[in-house]
Structure 1
């Protein structure tokens, strides 16, 4: 069960499969060791945007650009930044029942849903579905609500509103867009070197089971070709499928184990690829790096 104090531990009000937030300290380390502090930061596949928010809240980056092709996710971020009080009023008034869950599913699926209603339906389903899977996920506790965890297990209203109100305080430094990732990357190509891009595309093998917007083989190839042609610093993380490994020839990479909440297997092998201009931190895994390691790197950076 989440507590009010979890607002400090989890910067994002959204839950997302894949555990991207576990690599936030690695991105901090990379920024420090490459003397990139204060750079702008772009996440073309923002989802829960936990890394972007962490880097922004702790002033590792000056501005953060979060982008997501999913209309509901985009509308959620838009509402959280533009009108957080409205969003929080709806959260506090939410009826955490199966009847409401079914109603929000209908609202989410309706192509004519108004932006504010779509934003809230996306949020409601993300917080009440298993592993935060919005359209394909089942409700926490099941339709009979007989398990140890019920529909409200991940819906601590006070904690969630605290996170949203904190995000709103950083609104002048946040940009939210609803573009195709490749289109966004191509548009940013003229800003080479002006921003650090971190891409966490849909998984190659399991994307169709986890996300509304998933990729074909050719889509993954398009991402690879576009990002490898960029001149600025970038990092890409993926499931370590042989097909993905073949798409980033010659790129420095790191393979590691990451815990999954949305899979029958508790762990999966992932891979990170890095642009050639980056010094890659010498760690065994980008996941689970202690804050003390980052602090030590910051101290070392001031000595040289």
Structure 2
């Protein structure tokens, strides 16, 4: 590829903005990129576009794009068995999952029960494991799986365990996914294999958001080694004609891995006047870089 990295800040101000439509809370979640991706996908003029997240987690942007009608299909991949089980439950057992969300007690005692299910990691029962993951994701501090419950085990904090568990809203979000399950493909493969499966498809758009370098294992269920980051970069760079965006924390090591690509610092702006996210790093495929550079996607 011929694109060179630039230190010009890519200021993402998408023409369209959507509320939170994913039922999951995720550290560093990128749901706010959905409007920008919608602009890019429209500018690329893809036919019945497929949106692919090889490291999906909460798939915040992907769910928004599917629900709002900007993509025809959604591919949700996550190697972690608990995350994968949640997405299987949401797409194949949605009614049962919604019933659990509506009825399970929001108490420390129930939190302990669900934590035990999560730790057992029995993915032969995706409904049970997927709900346990979901329960901890919604009741733990910042949605982090190895954190304690909101408010602490003694529930003495300003916020209690139910602070992020709005049952009607979460059921609504889950039902929106269940209604579109026939357009969602769920898998738990290595993220690089998902890139290899879809990056050659001219009508696919890939958002590649791997575990960040600096965070390591503190935020992510599956931390990456330096070798994992290098292997992913080699895989992505093998598809110069694909439509993809990779996001990372801004680290010299990542810049070296993608040297020669369209690598830019970026910041998300929720309004015209206020930035509410720290600057990170985006690597754009030539096709995506082209529509951004020509102003067909609202950035800059």
Deviation at 1:283, TM superposition (A): 10
Structure 2 length as normaliser, TM-score? 0.85
Deviation at 1:267, TM superposition (A): 5.0
Gaps of 5+ in 2: 1-17, 270-275
SS of 1:209's equivalent?
Answer: coil
Higher relative contact order (CA 8 A, sep 6+): 2
In the alignment, which of 285, 292, 300 is matched to residue 281 of structure 1? Answer: 292
State the distance in 2 between where 1:28 and 1:16 align: 21
Q: Measured at CA, do residues 29 and 133 of structure 1 come closer, stay the same or move farther in structure 2, by a change above 3 Å? A: same
Residue pair 2:50, 2:203 contacting (<8 A) in 1 also: yes
State the distance in 2 between where 1:87 and 1:142 align: 26
Residue pair 1:239, 1:268 contacting (<8 A) in 2 also: no
Q: Measured at CA, do residues 86 and 283 of structure 1 come closer, stay the same or move farther in structure 2, by a change above 3 Å? A: farther
Q: Name the count of aligned residue pairs.
A: 272
State the distance in 2 between where 1:54 and 1:267 align: 19
Aligned equivalent of 1:182:
192
Aligned equivalent of 1:121:
132
Matches within 5 A, 1:158-177: 158-177=168-187
Structure 1 length as normaliser, TM-score? 0.84
Residue pair 1:31, 1:37 contacting (<8 A) in 2 also: no
State the distance in 2 between where 1:109 and 1:52 align: 28
In the alignment, which of 240, 247, 252 is matched to residue 237 of structure 1? Answer: 247
Q: Measured at CA, do residues 72 and 236 of structure 1 come closer, stay the same or move farther in structure 2, by a change above 3 Å? A: same
2:203 counterpart of 1:226? no
Aligned equivalent of 2:204:
195
Gaps of 5+ in 1: 1-7, 260-265, 287-292, 295-304
Structure 1 stretches of 4+ with a deviation exceeding 6 A read none
Query: C-alpha offsets along residues 42-72 of structure 1, whole Å, 9 cap, x if unaligned?
Result: 1101111111111111221111111011111
Deviation at 1:280, TM superposition (A): 4.2
State the distance in 1 between where 2:29 and 2:122 align: 32
State the distance in 2 between where 1:147 and 1:155 align: 16
Residue pair 2:29, 2:58 contacting (<8 A) in 1 also: no
Aligned equivalent of 2:15:
none
Range with bigger deviation, 211-220 or 247-256? 247-256
Aligned equivalent of 2:222:
213
